Every structure is written in structure tokens, then in C-alpha cells.
């Protein structure tokens, strides 16, 4: 289900192909986030035209709304949202554990109060798998316990061991061979815990491995060290997924460390707030310097937004609260991220990822818009 096509001769950057029941995904890949069965402001047709190969949804949110039975009756999540390409569903572990005052964690599972209507629910490792089997996800993530930074080693160890136990129970509960199950490496910032968790998950044997518990408040250098350490322990023949990390510079650093898959709400969240990602860095379109700027957002971009609309027009849309502005900048940002991944794969295939990284970051970080 994963073919490693080429590794750059000068670093750990990898180009591969992930094979799922709903199609193939070229890696390194970025997964636009459709938490509630939709990538905010964008249609499936928009995503197709941006060359999206896979999107991410969230089992926790779909469990609460519209409910699993509704999606079952629709014939699964792909039919429900009219997206026939691969879907990865997150278990919602991070969302549940962020509800610090609304949940209780035990070895058996998690009791939590819905952030929507206050109803109480109990969810186990096995139930999370059952939910995602009903959804029909191509890639399933097990329930895990994520801790925030900073975290004591004792607390991190308890969460790590619980994550391993839940992962083992998740694999036993999986009944459909066409669905891929990834293990999630936890252990906070402690290398000994990360090593133990990685080794135990490899013994259980998953279709791929995710690095969780990063981008939770730790300094960037520490995050990079954790990712580099864990990727050095993971099997070469399985995909590696860095959860929730998605700024362009962070993606490029992690690709160099051997990461294959990424997701983040950044492209659409920034887009809805009027910030565009360009090859020359971030551009906040609401700002007054763009009032009479009739250039496209990014002179090197071929997306629908850049081919048809000026910065001045986009600024006008945001400053008159027109919904089209949110949609157009979000569309551009998703296109930018997916095109970045295409260029990364091309550079890896040519053994020039190091040069690409240097060129991209130099322009992205130092250019004046």
C-alpha cells in the first residue's frame, strides 16, 4: 500500500505513492482539512481543480453532527460529501483532550461532554474504529492521548502507555482489510518515551505511522528535533504522517526529515481571515497598500483566483464583508499548498530538494510584498 519511489541522495526527503481503496496519493502530500465533511468555503469540484488527492475529516465532529447513522444511510462519508477520492479520518482524540474541563480519561476510554449541546458520551478505542468503519474512511486513526507542552515525564508516560494500549485494541477491532490503520507515536518531548512508543507500535505492525503530540506549544527547534528523532526510528517502507503541522516552512523542514504526509487548517483559516500564502511570503489582503494594487495575488500562481482577480478587488471583497473574498483567498491558499507539494516531489525526484528548500525559504522569508 506504500511504494517508496525515490529518496533524495543528499537528505532524508522521500517521494512515494500511497495506495488506498479510493485511489493513489503521491507523497509528500498535504491533506486539506474538511473537519465536518467539508473543506470550508470550497466545493469538491474546487478541490479537484486544485489537484487535491486526499482530504481529512474528523470522526469526533461527524459523530456529534450529523451522527453516524445519517452517514451510514447515505452510503458512507464519500457519498455523503460527494468526494470519491481518498479520505483520512482523525479519531478526534486531540479535540476530545482539548476539552480539559469536559472529559474524564480512563484506561477503558474517554467520557466527555459534547461542546455542542452538553450531552455526555463514552467512547472507547473499539468504538472509534467502529465509527470510522461506518464512515468508510480510507485511512483510520486510532484513539490516542495527546498532552500539551510543557508536560511532566510521569504524565507523558501514562499517556504514551495508554496510547499504545488503545492502538493495540484498535487493531484487534478493525474488520475491513481495505481500510488502512495508522499507529500514533506519542511521548511528548521525551526521547526515551518516543523511542519506546515507536518500538511498541512497530511490534503491533500498522499500515503507517503518525507523529502526534507536536505543535502543542513547544518551540520550533524542539519540534524539529522530535520529528527528526522519530522518523529515524520508523520503518522505511511505511508512510509517515506529521499531524497538525502545516505552515510552508514547517512542511519543508519536516520533508527533509523524512515525513510523507501533512494536514492543517492553516490554508482555509488564514484565507477566511484575508491572509494569502504566496511564493514571496504571507500577504494580508485587507491592508490599505492593496487598495489600488491591480496585480494578482501571486505572479507565479495559476489558480482561478490569481488568473481572474486583482489584489484591489480581493481587498474590496473583504472590506465589504462579501463571502466571495473568503472563498477566493481560501481557494488560492489550498492551490498554493498543493502546488508546493508537487514542486517538492519534483525536486526530490531530481535529487535537488536541498537546493529547492534554500531557494524557496530565501524568497518566502526575505521578499517584500
Q: Would you please indicate which residues are annotated as catalytic (active-site) residues?
A: 90, 263
Residue 115: partners with Cβ closer than 8 Å, 6 or more residues away: 99, 102
Strands 208-211 and 180-185: parallel
The radius of gyration computed from the CA coordinates of the chain, to the nearest angstrom, equals 20
CA distance 32 to 246: 10
CA distance 89 to 106: 23
For 354, list phi and psi in degrees, rounded to 5. Answer: -60, -45
Kind plus residue range of the DSSP H or E element containing 22:
none
Strands 14-20 and 23-27: antiparallel
For 231, list phi and psi in degrees, rounded to 5. Answer: -60, -30
340, three cell numbers: 508546493
Amino acid at each position: 500500500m506504500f511504494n517508496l519511489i525515490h529518496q533524495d541522495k543528499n537528505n532524508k526527503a522521500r517521494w512515494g505513492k500511497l495506495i488506498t481503496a479510493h485511489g493513489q496519493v503521491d507523497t509528500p502530500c498535504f491533506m486539506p482539512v474538511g473537519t465536518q465533511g467539508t473543506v470550508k468555503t470550497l466545493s469538491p469540484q474546487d478541490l479537484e481543480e486544485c489537484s487535491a488527492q486526499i482530504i481529512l475529516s474528523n470522526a469526533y465532529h461527524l459523530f456529534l453532527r450529523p451522527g453516524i447513522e445519517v452517514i451510514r444511510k447515505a452510503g458512507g462519508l464519500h457519498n455523503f460529501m460527494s468526494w470519491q477520492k481518498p479520505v483520512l479520518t482523525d479519531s478526534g482524540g486531540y479535540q476530545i483532550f482539548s476539552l480539559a474541563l469536559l472529559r474524564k480519561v480512563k484506561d477503558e476510554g474517554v467520557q466527555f461532554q459534547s461542546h455542542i449541546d452538553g450531552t455526555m458520551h463514552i467512547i472507547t478505542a473499539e468504538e472509534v474504529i467502529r465509527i470510522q468503519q461506518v464512515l468508510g474512511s480510507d485511512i483510520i486513526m486510532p484513539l490516542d492521548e495527546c498532552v500539551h507542552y510543557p508536560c511532566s515525564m510521569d504524565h507523558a508516560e501514562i499517556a504514551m502507555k495508554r496510547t499504545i494500549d488503545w492502538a493495540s485494541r484498535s487493531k484487534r477491532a478493525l474488520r475491513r482489510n481495505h481500510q488502512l490503520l495508522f499507529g500514533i507515536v506519542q511521548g511528548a518531548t521525551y526521547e526515551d518515551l518516543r523511542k519506546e512508543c515507536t518500538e511498541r507500535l512497530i511490534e503491533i505492525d500498522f499500515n503507517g505511522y503518525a507523529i502526534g503530540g507536536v505543535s502543542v506549544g513547544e518551540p520550533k527547534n524542539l519540534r524539529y528535533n522530535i520529528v527528526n528523532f522519530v522518523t529515524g526510528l520508523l520503518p522505511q517502507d511505511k508512510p509517515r504522517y506529521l499531524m497538525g503541522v502545516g505552515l510552508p516552512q514547517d512542511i519543508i523542514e519536516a520533508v527533509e526529515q523524512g515525513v510523507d504526509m501533512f494536514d492543517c487548517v492553516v490554508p482555509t483559516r488564514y484565507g477566511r481571515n484575508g491572509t494569502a500564502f504566496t511564493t514571496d511570503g504571507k500577504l494580508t489582503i485587507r491592508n490599505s497598500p492593496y487598495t489600488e494594487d491591480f496585480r494578482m495575488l501571486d505572479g507565479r500562481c495559476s489558480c482561478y483566483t490569481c488568473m481572474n482577480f486583482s489584489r484591489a478587488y480581493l481587498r474590496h471583497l473583504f472590506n465589504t464583508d462579501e463571502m466571495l473574498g473568503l472563498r477566493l483567498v481560501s481557494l488560492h491558499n489550498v492551490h498554493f499548498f498543493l502546488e508546493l507539494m508537487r514542486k517538492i516531489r519534483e525536486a526530490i525526484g531530481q535529487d535537488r530538494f536541498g537546493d529547492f528548500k534554500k531557494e524557496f525559504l530565501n524568497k518566502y522569508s526575505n521578499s517584500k510584498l
